[in-house]
Structure 1
């Protein structure tokens, strides 16, 4: 159910749809090999804003559950091509419109496993030949209060020397303690040095690195027990702890010494902490030394709790930590965009260095795909996130981080250095060369001497270079043109593009419409003629073969014999006069091809999986018939004739039935990026080969079956021909301009084989038999 609004004839017809996917296991984006299984569509009532001076369409607010998967879709009915751009939280996202069977532009945004960070306003900017307009979607989380994951915090267990880990989250989280005997990198992530204990109460508080983690279906959040270790080498700057007003404060001071009688004490800004705001624990280690820990805690901090907390011992130098109390959280990092140039096989990682509180949730994204974001702490209180899985694909990479109070986005541009690739062409008045590469190539033209292929004389006049354009994927497109003059006419010239990675050249003969090798002396001339003769002979054979093949198709496929009401009446149907019914059309992107089942001189049949061809959300095996590469027009016409014939035959239990076909092609608009701005539109033709989709015969083909039953068929057909008068041609409804009389209806009742459609032993017929 889709709602349509038209308020002005100059504006397009806009249809806004929300697609809810009930099951998904895929990453960002969809593909036939990993579809979003089943879906439902919902009307969003897309309407034009009455108070807006610009063409702004607004859809109804979309409310979805956490972890749900949805698609925001816009269907546009407007003449000509369109281009588009999605914007979310000041970040631009790639947009690739396509056209459906009604020639409507379709633009989609897929959101997988919805989280709070993905809620907000999604702006879709659309540019058409007639006008520009905006579509606004507002996406919110349904029952936000019912789905939460809060960072855990600590609380002392009453009347016991133990800590309780608490996370006020819904659904109720699983709480676990994570221990490690050191503070090195080996204690991060899932490593053998990490020990996990699932419990909310902890009595063993003497470990070196202690964390409490809470996990539910929204993810995992951890809080580290902030520790000052008097036995470790002091840092150049005191460690810093951030808290927000109202949060609990917990600091652990730890010391080990052979003197069992040493003590520990806490001071805040040279003032001893009040009694009741700390407690001490001690134990013996395996080497009989004494381990003491002294906790300082505040159940709910205020601004007056800010300052340096100093732990002192009679046997150790004192150490301090700076506690800063904030009104709200923050994310501090450099926001400036960064550009990088690397070689094709160079190892490289993006990195963002930041300081944040509370802990951030982050993602890396590229070309509408999201990637996991890992964080690691540094000694100076900062953290760092790296991304190395770029696979040397040039383009824009985006780092996005947020916590409960702040958001941060940083953009990186990756350029891949590559040697230029040159293409050359010549006309009657000029020669042109074009090249792509990175960095931007430069051009030089040289004239070749009369008697030698060496090109050393540089050409400086008659040359003009077109302004270079930056491709979306980080390559420069440039071109250079040499105008024809008497000084170079009839000579070979060489155009060369070069950058820091190398040089590429092409040689052009200026009195010829294309690039040719150097031809000057008679030996080269006769050698060229010798090479051309076999080519001409092969070309002649191909032309003859084409006409023979065209004649064969004309006689065998395009004309089909049909028996009329009398046995001696024959009529011919040319299927080229029939219209192809688009109800048989099937989206080619919903086909996933497998192995080749068979092939002939001009075509082949491949095994494939078709998604949704029989029933929405169901995939089946099919056989897809297609032409080979480099097929000519007569072969394509023959295949279309076969398609039209099969659509008129319809479905029958005794033949391998046609299920669908892929024939449609069209055009779409593509946004071209210059620098960091989209400033141009390019029209790209979308086309593909013709596919005929048939039922899959899992036991083989009819020919081999008939050969294996040769003796039985011989006896059976002999008896049948004695008793009946058969015609082996089907009955069709003639096209409107045909005068062919009707013929009898075909009806077959064989005891059929699953492969061939019949068993060859007994047949009952009424009218004509169709195979």
Structure 2
């Protein structure tokens, strides 16, 4: 039977397939089938993505899978009906226990969909259908046809969207707390919202948006009622709604227009009158339409400010307003001018704005924003839409009681833009049409024996002229007025009017050059055409020329195609090792990655390429190279630093440039960490793409370890004896271990700062930094390496990978060769990517059509092509083995062949490396668990190695007390490296590398 992939989604073939796969199943054992629904949790993306993506999953929901009574010719299983929220991300999954391989086909609304079966650890066939952001058009019946070695069957899923009318997010309202001067914020929403108060004590711009001047308190009761701006906000999964405490401030200049407050019948009314004066005896009064408010509909609070002035506030409130509560509410004081506000009670909400469609014409690069001015109650929810894409909608209030929403992110794309707004009671839609004026450009030209033709695009609509060129001069000045036929297209393409002009040949112009010119108000575009004189048999002549051209081109095209295919098979495409996870499926090995090609590059990272001065090449590979450079002003104005610049080869193709730009966009969203080689900037404009990174002066960790074998010491005691304790004075400066970023270092730095405040330390900061740098340089001059250094390297790499795991980032080639070392024995994870010559690197073995670092790869990566953060944990275990063997090649003496793959499948693990302890070897073995779910996470590895590092440091203190009678002054401030190891072990010089 032909493979399912050949169906190609065509319905007639699908019908044939349906008829063929259903065989008689009498007297055959039916497979064991399990149908599950996986609901993916949504959270905001941490790399600045605009929409939220599912990054974790809830436990699978068993849908059953009952065998439906049917004819003897087919077996149909039906899963329980699925009801999900709108915009939810779900996976429909089938687990099949059946002998042999299976093939499958999904069908939805008479269209076939991709289906890729796989097998899990229990050898069950797994077929999944992932739906990102459920919509009404995606609801319905999903049919899964499965063809097995024994039998064929159908599985039916019915998916519908849950009635979301039960879900609400209502604007919060205020209520006075009984017997207390406090307000309660209430929001009657489903699901239950979280409530917070947001307030500010200033009228400045700092009180707008998110700033340090804005105070947020996560609680429903508020006692601090004297602030200038007080709002209550309620949030649930539908979004956020806020209500501002309507305030009249008698100390502020009255607005030019009377402030207005809208409420619906039945809603509570709260108005606050606030005044400040040095004379504490002043009072406040409320009046409605010149009548005092009823007793019990107001209450007063007062307090003294820091400058001993009196602050008074008087609340007017109605628990449930009626139409007769409409009117002017006036607050008066004996020491202040009175001020009023108009309260309007309406039966239902409204949105008032001009509905007239608006057309705009703008020039390219002209500053322009769409704008809608409206008055609405309750507050609206709005979106801007263009080309079926939605964009965030921002609103701002005007002094006249109106609000405005502007949209400026049109990027000069012509077309129709839609503003849509709605609240609980009303909806409003307004359409805008944007035209962008563009100079004409000739799209095509052609000629034959009888005519010449040109087509052009532009806005406004171009007009045409034809000119004859002189046979004595290339100038085309003689205008042709006869034989011209212009045709206007009935549609626009990309916002441009298309037009066409045809010139019928006359004997007078045959054999000459002619020029067609398109004009509009922005300019002119011209093209020349040679009009050849036809022979006695023009039709035959044209055909002979055509076939002759084809005959000459065909061999060339065939050879070129063969060369391209050969090159494509031999040379794989450049792809960044780092990948950021967009979606996590129900199992550990179900990952979907973010495609950064559609993301915008943030120009804030752009660095002037003229401020780079290149040095030597640090590494080169099949796709590009990394060069050392000096960057002027990249970190601080007037300061130059050494950097590493990553770039493509000179003749890179568009796919490689696109891949490097995608990598750049990913790195800008990744963020920085001290154990990652951080991005500093980039050059993408007016030249080749450069990615600028931190420079690590000691190169990669693998060669660093190998170069230090002759200088390895088990303990610092050995070092002190060898150097006659001359190293002690370098410890008297401010403490700073090579284990940068650890809590122990931070704790000691904090304690030093505290002691400085208490007077026990008055060393200037610059002097501390100088002595610290001097200590590091002297320490590195010793050219030594200890067990604690190895442990610290392992800890730092785990910290870096913990950061990547938090950012949902997978490395896929974690090894000592991809970790760099810089001053202070700080290690940083990097992505060599294009600058590694993997063609000549024996660590990368041909497997399929790719070269892979086989000895570092987890079983699921080797045998299934699956890369997850847990496969990075396996690679980390191999990296640990490299560190604690001082750079020996993994699996020494074992060739990468069929036997190697059998060893990995059988659960083979390397022996304990020479310089590792039992505890370290135990960590390695846990990283090499065949079942990826049993491997530790990087936060667990960081915690475990941190504890071992602390134990090693404690052991060094105890060891120093036993070997040194008097500890040098200042030594107690040094974070120790050392740990005493059993004596009598072989010398490191006796241990050679087996590569």
- TM-score, normalised by the number of residues in structure 1: 0.55
Q: In structure 2, what is the Cα distance between the partners aligned to 1:40 and 1:459?
A: 77
Match of 2:235 in 1: 215
Shift, 1:547, TM fit = 8.1
Pair 1:396–1:704, CA change in 2 (3 A): closer
Q: In structure 1, what is the Cα distance between the partners aligned to 2:429 and 2:308?
A: 52
Q: In structure 1, what is the Cα distance between the partners aligned to 2:288 and 2:228?
A: 24
Equivalent position SS for 2:197: strand
Match of 1:348 in 2: 368
Match of 2:486 in 1: 465
Pair 1:266–1:490, CA change in 2 (3 A): same
Pair 1:201–1:488, CA change in 2 (3 A): same
Q: Report Cα offsets for 1:128-153 as digits up to 9, x if no partner.
A: xxxxxxxxx997643643x3322111
Q: In structure 2, what is the Cα distance between the partners aligned to 1:165 and 1:458?
A: 79
Q: Report Cα offsets for 1:322-352 as digits up to 9, x if no partner.
A: 1110111011112222223333333332222
Q: In structure 1, what is the Cα distance between the partners aligned to 2:173 and 2:519?
A: 61
Match of 1:507 in 2: 528
Q: In structure 1, what is the Cα distance between the partners aligned to 2:529 and 2:221?
A: 82
| Contact kept in structure 2, 1:599 and 1:605, CA below 8 Å | no
Q: Report Cα offsets for 1:703-762 as digits up to 9, x if no partner.
A: 9999xxxxxxxxxxxxxxxxxxxxxxxxxxxxxxxxxxxxxxxxxxxxx999654789xx
Shift, 1:481, TM fit = 0.8
The range that moved more, 197-206 or 387-396, is 387-396
Q: 1:317 aligns with which of 337, 349, 354?
A: 337
Q: 1:699 aligns with which of 844, 852, 859?
A: 844
| Contact kept in structure 1, 2:87 and 2:133, CA below 8 Å | yes
1:443 and 2:464 correspond = yes
1:64 and 2:209 correspond = no
| Contact kept in structure 1, 2:349 and 2:378, CA below 8 Å | yes
Q: 1:195 aligns with which of 192, 195, 215?
A: 215
1:399 and 2:419 correspond = yes
| Contact kept in structure 1, 2:84 and 2:159, CA below 8 Å | no
Pair 1:466–1:171, CA change in 2 (3 A): same
Match of 1:169 in 2: 189
Q: In structure 2, what is the Cα distance between the partners aligned to 1:220 and 1:281?
A: 30
Q: Report Cα offsets for 1:174-206 as digits up to 9, x if no partner.
A: 221111233454323212221112221112211
Q: 2:253 aligns with which of 222, 233, 254?
A: 233
Q: In structure 1, what is the Cα distance between the partners aligned to 2:527 and 2:62?
A: 55
| Contact kept in structure 2, 1:20 and 1:41, CA below 8 Å | no
Q: In structure 1, what is the Cα distance between the partners aligned to 2:449 and 2:568?
A: 41
Equivalent position SS for 1:304: helix
Q: In structure 2, what is the Cα distance between the partners aligned to 1:216 and 1:504?
A: 57
| Contact kept in structure 1, 2:515 and 2:529, CA below 8 Å | yes
Match of 1:46 in 2: none
| Contact kept in structure 1, 2:172 and 2:188, CA below 8 Å | yes
Pair 1:337–1:618, CA change in 2 (3 A): same
Match of 2:496 in 1: 475
Match of 1:456 in 2: 477
Q: In structure 2, what is the Cα distance between the partners aligned to 1:465 and 1:602?
A: 49
Match of 2:316 in 1: 296
1:362 and 2:329 correspond = no
| Contact kept in structure 2, 1:120 and 1:139, CA below 8 Å | no
| Contact kept in structure 2, 1:351 and 1:384, CA below 8 Å | yes
| Contact kept in structure 2, 1:702 and 1:756, CA below 8 Å | no
Equivalent position SS for 1:511: coil
Q: 1:260 aligns with which of 280, 294, 298?
A: 280
1:494 and 2:545 correspond = no
| Contact kept in structure 2, 1:463 and 1:480, CA below 8 Å | yes
Q: In structure 2, what is the Cα distance between the partners aligned to 1:392 and 1:330?
A: 33
Number of matched pairs: 496
Q: 1:606 aligns with which of 566, 570, 573?
A: 573
Q: In structure 1, what is the Cα distance between the partners aligned to 2:182 and 2:593?
A: 60
Pair 1:274–1:257, CA change in 2 (3 A): same
| Contact kept in structure 1, 2:257 and 2:399, CA below 8 Å | no
Q: In structure 2, what is the Cα distance between the partners aligned to 1:308 and 1:165?
A: 25
Q: In structure 2, what is the Cα distance between the partners aligned to 1:455 and 1:363?
A: 53
Q: In structure 1, what is the Cα distance between the partners aligned to 2:458 and 2:896?
A: 54
| Contact kept in structure 1, 2:41 and 2:54, CA below 8 Å | no
Match of 2:600 in 1: none
Q: In structure 2, what is the Cα distance between the partners aligned to 1:69 and 1:699?
A: 38
Q: In structure 2, what is the Cα distance between the partners aligned to 1:176 and 1:442?
A: 62
| Contact kept in structure 2, 1:228 and 1:319, CA below 8 Å | yes
Q: In structure 2, what is the Cα distance between the partners aligned to 1:494 and 1:160?
A: 88
Pair 1:504–1:333, CA change in 2 (3 A): same
Equivalent position SS for 1:600: helix
Q: Report Cα offsets for 1:598-655 as digits up to 9, x if no partner.
A: 973986433679999x99955699xxxxxx999xxxxxxxxxxxxxxxxxxxxxxxxx
| Contact kept in structure 2, 1:37 and 1:617, CA below 8 Å | no
| Contact kept in structure 1, 2:264 and 2:349, CA below 8 Å | yes
Q: 2:269 aligns with which of 249, 273, 277?
A: 249
Q: In structure 2, what is the Cα distance between the partners aligned to 1:474 and 1:754?
A: 62
Q: In structure 1, what is the Cα distance between the partners aligned to 2:292 and 2:461?
A: 67
The range that moved more, 347-356 or 269-278, is 347-356
Map 1:349-748 onto structure 2 (within 5 A). 349-422=369-442, 423-511=444-532, 600=567, 604-606=571-573, 617=590, 699-701=844-846
Shift, 1:319, TM fit = 1.1
Q: In structure 2, what is the Cα distance between the partners aligned to 1:310 and 1:21?
A: 54
Q: In structure 2, what is the Cα distance between the partners aligned to 1:416 and 1:69?
A: 38
Q: In structure 2, what is the Cα distance between the partners aligned to 1:359 and 1:365?
A: 20
Larger fraction in helix = 2
Q: In structure 2, what is the Cα distance between the partners aligned to 1:444 and 1:331?
A: 52
Shift, 1:486, TM fit = 2.2
Pair 1:74–1:198, CA change in 2 (3 A): same
Pair 1:25–1:163, CA change in 2 (3 A): closer
Unpaired segments ≥5 residues, structure 1:
1-8, 43-60, 78-97, 103-109, 124-136, 514-535, 554-595, 622-627, 631-696, 707-751, 761-771
Q: In structure 2, what is the Cα distance between the partners aligned to 1:544 and 1:388?
A: 53
1:337 and 2:304 correspond = no
Shift, 1:494, TM fit = 0.8
Q: In structure 1, what is the Cα distance between the partners aligned to 2:431 and 2:507?
A: 53
Q: In structure 2, what is the Cα distance between the partners aligned to 1:502 and 1:494?
A: 16
| Contact kept in structure 1, 2:40 and 2:54, CA below 8 Å | no
Match of 1:327 in 2: 347
Pair 1:266–1:220, CA change in 2 (3 A): same
Match of 2:608 in 1: none
| Contact kept in structure 1, 2:107 and 2:113, CA below 8 Å | no
Pair 1:512–1:313, CA change in 2 (3 A): farther
Equivalent position SS for 1:417: strand
| Contact kept in structure 2, 1:377 and 1:383, CA below 8 Å | yes
Map 1:97-246 onto structure 2 (within 5 A). 141-142=162-163, 144-145=165-166, 147-246=167-266
Match of 1:89 in 2: none
Shift, 1:245, TM fit = 0.3
Larger fraction in strand = 1
Match of 1:278 in 2: 298
The range that moved more, 379-388 or 296-305, is 379-388
RMSD of Structure 2 on Structure 1 (CA): 5.0
